[in-house]
Amino acid sequence: MRYRIRHITEYRYANRVSHCYNLAHMIPRSTRRQTCINSRIDVSPTVAQGTRRTDYFGNSAYHFEIQKPHRELVITSSCEVETGSQIGDANLDIGRTCGEARKQMARARSEDVILAREYQLESSMIRADDQLRDFAKDLFSDERPLLTAVSDLTQRIFEEFSYSPAATTIATPIAEVMASRKGVCQDFAHLQIGCLRAMGFAAKYVSGYLETLPPPGQEKMVGADATHAWLSIYSPGEGWFEFDPTNNTMAGEQHIITAWGRDFYDVTPLRGVIFGGGSDPAMTVSVDVTRI
């Protein structure tokens, strides 16, 4: 599928910002099932310095510096992306069992496994937690096929947690999400990653967009799409597989990847340091994903 995406982020500040330094993860990366055909980022006010680079995780990172006083910052990221479906998602019941996979993760000396281990360790937003282990344990017995178990976990999260944008912020710890059983895509992705790591597997956080279709017979509203998040799990020798607990599905053509990392912190769409600005800047985000 080919998409045109426009992602606009606006900040309005109570006081003047004299200068700022930012890092954006807003340009889709190319992956095995996705090609970023073209992309551009426009920033208002004009940047004094802007640099694109590939970061440690292979994502496109855009650094910019603004030296002009401003009260409003607008970042518009536009791109065209060609996506495909995941390879090998036909039958989850064939493939490695949990037991084999766990053994491989712990012992194998192959480069892939070594590099995947980075995503098995604790990260800043996802700490090891007995609750997570207990939540997932019964699904991951040694003889079960790994991807089936992951799929079951995805379903369990989908069924036991309710989607509630008001319930959490980007700073809500997983333990709170566990307790309230509410959250958004980011929380569910973190939660499932935490469970998978507790089970001895490597899982990474994937940020991106999801194409949403309007109800039958209605026009799609501009800006109605949103940024989205899901996860990818490593099966030793087989590769990475993406699951979306918010929608109880494997990621498909409609899942467009921006960046991945160990958790949200590594791929925050926009972060930075501003000088001035006062308190509580107002942020609005609008995303349009259009098929072309």
Asked if 210 and 254 touch (Cβ cutoff 8 Å), the reply is yes
From residue 254 to residue 283, the character string flagging contacts with other proteins as x (rule: CB under 8 A) and all else as - is: -----------xx-x-xxxxxxxx---x--
Separation of alpha carbons 258 and 90, rounded Å: 24
> Does position 129 bind other proteins by CB under 8 A?
no
C-alpha separations of 139 from 40, 48, 129, 203 in Å: 43, 53, 17, 16
Q: Which is nearer to other proteins, 33 or 117 (CB)?
A: 117
Stretch that binds other proteins, among 119-127, 132-140, 205-213, 232-240 (CB under 8 A): 119-127
Cα–Cα dist 245/93, whole Å:
19
Please list every residue from 203 through 242 that binds other proteins, using CB under 8 A. Answer: none
Q: Segment contacting other proteins (CB under 8 A): 112-120, 191-199, 217-225, 235-243?
A: 112-120
Q: Which of 174, 96, 79 is nearest to 132 (CA)?
A: 174
Min. distance of Cβ 41 from other proteins in angstroms?
16
- Applying CB under 8 A, what is the total number of residues that bind other proteins? 42
Q: Identify the residue among 65, 82, 152, 176 touching other proteins (CB under 8 A).
A: 65
By beta-carbon proximity to other proteins, the closer residue of 81 and 113 is: 113
Output the smallest distance, CB 274 to other proteins, in A.
6
Nearer to other proteins, 64 or 209 (CB): 64
Which residues from 90-109 bind other proteins, rule CB under 8 A? Answer: 109
68 binds other proteins (CB under 8 A): no
115 binds other proteins (CB under 8 A): yes
- Provide the mask over 32-61, with x wherever binding to other proteins is found by CB under 8 A and - wherever it is not: ----------------xx-x-x-xxx----
Rule CB under 8 A: say whether 122 interacts with other proteins.
yes
Which residues lie near other proteins (CB under 8 A)?
A: 11, 18-23, 48-49, 51, 53, 55-57, 63, 65, 67, 109, 111, 114-115, 117-118, 121-125, 170-171, 265-266, 268, 270-277, 281
